[in-house]
Structure 1
Amino acid sequence: MKQELKVSFYLKREQSLSKTHVDSSRIYPIVGKIIIGNSIAQFGSKLSVSENLWNVKSGRAIGKSKIAVELNREINKINLSIHSHYKDILDRTGEVTALQVKNAFQGIATAQKTLLVLFEEMMQEFHSRIGIDRAPSTYFKYITAYKNLKRFLKEKYNVEDIPLSQLDLPFIEAYDFNLRVERKLKSESIVSIVALLQKAVRIALHRNLITHPPFYGYKIEKPEFQIRSLSAEEFERLMSTPIESSSQSFIRDLFVFAAFTGLSYADLKGFVWKDIIQEEDGSLWIFKSRQKTDITFNVKLLDIPIRIIEKYKGISGTGKDDPVFVVLSHRRITDALKAVAKHCGIATKISYHVARHTFASQLCLSQGVPIESVSRMMGHRNIQTTQRYARVNNEKIGSDMKQLSNRLVGKFNFPE
């Protein structure tokens, strides 16, 4: 319910001063009072006036003298500023108190920070780290999450923003329902959007802006992880199919390189010559930090990726900070990969993330490489992440059981 704003001005006299001893020429400070519903806040105006020039009923100076006119002009400016702040807070949050208006009028930061203001601060902090340890592509996720949250507040509550104290489980569940049912977003998008809201809540809890976790009791429906690895037959066909187009051949070679090294698109784009280290035994290794997580990883270059490097060596320079490959934009390279897949007769939708899956499943785990080693080579924080990439197929299971069978020969006696 909208609460009416009342602003009044009065003289601040000493309490000990009796009315019988009032000096009409004495000057008193002017004090203001803000009333909104049951909330009241007083403030100093930094103005003063003599008793004989003050009208108690109107809360203004009497007459048309220069002093009275200028004084009333300043009081009206204060009154207008208070009304402006009142309207602004009410439009943004849907409710307002006298203390909030007083703090806003006096330029005092209110302890009642709002959700979108905190979200904007989080975005600004992330944006300042782009190019250092954050990727520009991830920032677009913040923009999307912010727009969705702002739209929801306007559609559901008809406000521009809400105090963090109003965040509770019903709000979270209503937001989930809005994204999932009303807007019909995909589960992957919902997880990404809600995760950033959860991050904002963690910041609010850490800064003591809120005292209770509003997400307590909420469980997001995460989509089932989809295996996106090429099969062994598809990968072999991709490598062996002749391609006349030099540009498509280059795109195919980059995909194969990523499949043999586990590099993501972002890491491949930032792959420079100084990332290649030669060990004492002559072997070549990639020593690099993942752009997404800044976790250091290393992977040995096998014969095929070395041949691909040699094939395109020198096109973009060979200085230590020069890129090893001239990588196209993500959109162009994705479109080109579709054409390559169609040419090779592969129905699976391929991308450079599919190459990462293929590296984990077909070239490592299915060939007996321990998952701990695969996790390190892929730059994962934990093995649980690597397990999601593992494509355990019947061929791998059969191979493992055959090795187990050989190891168990003669170890047990079972009576006829």
Structure 2
Amino acid sequence: MRSTFKTVFYVNGSKEKNGIVPIMGRVTINGTIAQFSCKQSISKELWDAKGNKAKGKSKEANAVNFALDNIKAQITKHYQRLSDREAYVTAEMVRNAYQGIGTEYETLLGAFDKENAAFAKRVGKDRAKRTYQKYLIVRKYLAEFIKSKYRRTDMSMKELSEDFIQDYCLFLRNDLGLAQSSVWIYSMPLKHIVATAHYNGKIPRNPFAQYHVNPDHKERAFLTENELEAFSNSEWDNPNFALARDLFVFGCWTGISFVDIKNLTTENIVEMNGGYWIVSKRQKTNVPFQIKMMDIPMRIIKRYEHLREGNKLFNIGSYDMVNKRIKKIAKSCGIQKNISFHMSRHSFAVLALNYGMPIETVSKILGHTNITTTQIYAKVTSSKLENDISAFEDKISGRFTAMQ
């Protein structure tokens, strides 16, 4: 209620020195009080306690009153701005806004803007452009949600509760029509921003700590061995399509993501134990990975050795352009799946598991931080299930006779 807002000035007599006293300010809103120094002082006899200002028309009195009027105008401006944006406003919030304390993390969208500005400087170094774009989209969706749900332009971080993220996820699903997997994707940056604010002491608690969004992971698509063979053997006169084909096949036999293939240099090729290994770190997670190169990826590297610029293994264009080309290649091979470059990692994981590679090793090669991620990506096919069950059946055959 705005009618309770008031700003008054007074002098601190306990700090009197040679007849001079400092001038203090006090903001009161709905029973909350916040005091602050006006960084002004005055002769004690010139102060009008009733009028909250200096007495008379002297040069000193006029200068002090001008400064106090300016302070009051600034505080009123901050109060009005906060009242337009927040569901509730306290005297401390107004005082802090006037003093410039904590303004970066006072609001949710303000925190997003700060995070995104820092993120933008890291794009191309240790952060991917597509991840940055995701954060921008989440910021946009949050602004739309706050305007729709609360009829405001921003939210105080202190107002956030578990209800907020629940309603936000419902907004993504019902109002924007996103699939549950997309709801999960666009809720994670929100949880990260709020958790960071709590970790840095900007808010007293993390209201989303106990809220978990179900990612609803779908089974990951992959190329079968026959499809991979057809893709690998497709012939292209256009060198750009031939490169796209080879890069995808390279990913199928190494499990390396597009951005990490793009970052590979000659320094990442290391000779160990009589063979050649790729030793690097994932750009996305900074997790180290290493994989011994088999014949096919080795031949692909040698195929483009004469085209190398600097120490980069491959001269690769944008992800979107390579993706468009491998889709056309797949279509020409009669592959009906909605193929993307990331499917090469899925294909590697399934191929490796089907031929007996332990899931812990697959996880290490893929550079996953958690083996549960590998379990999602590395789908166990019906052929492996059949082989495993058959092997199990052979081992226990004749041991149990109860049903004979």
Partner of 1:70: 63
The alignment partner of 1:151 has SS state of helix
307, 316, 329: which one aligns with 1:327? 316
Specify the code of the residue in structure 2 equivalent to 1:357.
H
Equivalent-residue separation in structure 2 for 1:105 and 1:172 (angstroms):
30
Equivalent-residue separation in structure 2 for 1:263 and 1:357 (angstroms):
10
Equivalent-residue separation in structure 2 for 1:288 and 1:110 (angstroms):
40
The alignment covers a number of residue pairs equal to: 401
RMSD over aligned Cα atoms: 3.1
Contiguous gaps of at least 5 residues in structure 2: none
Instruction: State the shift of 1:306 in Å.
Output: 1.6
Specify the code of the residue in structure 2 equivalent to 1:5.
F
The alignment partner of 1:352 has SS state of coil
Q: Check conservation: 1:112, 1:165, Cα contact below 8 A.
A: no
Partner of 1:23: none
94, 97, 103: which one aligns with 1:101? 94
The alignment partner of 2:226 has SS state of helix
Instruction: State the shift of 1:357 in Å.
Output: 0.6
Partner of 1:221: 214
CA distance 1:29–1:262, shift in 2 (3 Å): closer
The alignment partner of 2:342 has SS state of helix
Partner of 2:363: 375
Specify the code of the residue in structure 1 equivalent to 2:283.
Q
CA distance 1:341–1:211, shift in 2 (3 Å): same
Alignment of 1:84-99 (within 5 A): 84-99=77-92
Specify the code of the residue in structure 2 equivalent to 1:292.
K
Partner of 1:6: 6
Q: Check conservation: 2:256, 2:366, Cα contact below 8 A.
A: yes
Instruction: State the shift of 1:85 in Å.
Output: 1.7
The alignment partner of 1:286 has SS state of strand
Partner of 1:337: 326
Alignment of 1:174-189 (within 5 A): 174-189=167-182
> CA offsets per residue over residues 84-120 of structure 1, 9 Å max, x none?
2212322332322223222332344489843334444
294, 305, 313: which one aligns with 1:302? 294
Contiguous gaps of at least 5 residues in structure 1: 16-25
Equivalent-residue separation in structure 2 for 1:323 and 1:70 (angstroms):
67
101, 107, 118: which one aligns with 1:114? 107
The alignment partner of 2:305 has SS state of coil
Equivalent-residue separation in structure 2 for 1:108 and 1:394 (angstroms):
60
Equivalent-residue separation in structure 2 for 1:402 and 1:106 (angstroms):
73
Q: Which moved more, 1:142-151 or 1:283-292?
A: 142-151
What percentage of aligned pairs have identical amino acids?
36
140, 146, 157: which one aligns with 2:150? 157
Instruction: State the shift of 1:356 in Å.
Output: 0.7
- Relative to the length of structure 2, the TM-score reads 0.86
Q: Which moved more, 1:306-315 or 1:60-69?
A: 60-69
Equivalent-residue separation in structure 2 for 1:224 and 1:137 (angstroms):
20
Equivalent-residue separation in structure 1 for 2:154 and 2:175 (angstroms):
20
Instruction: State the shift of 1:198 in Å.
Output: 1.6
Q: Check conservation: 2:109, 2:154, Cα contact below 8 A.
A: yes
Alignment of 1:34-53 (within 5 A): 34-48=27-41
Answer with 1 or 2: which has the greater Rg: 1
Q: Check conservation: 2:217, 2:376, Cα contact below 8 A.
A: no
- Relative to the length of structure 1, the TM-score reads 0.84
Equivalent-residue separation in structure 1 for 2:43 and 2:370 (angstroms):
75
Q: Check conservation: 1:2, 1:95, Cα contact below 8 A.
A: no
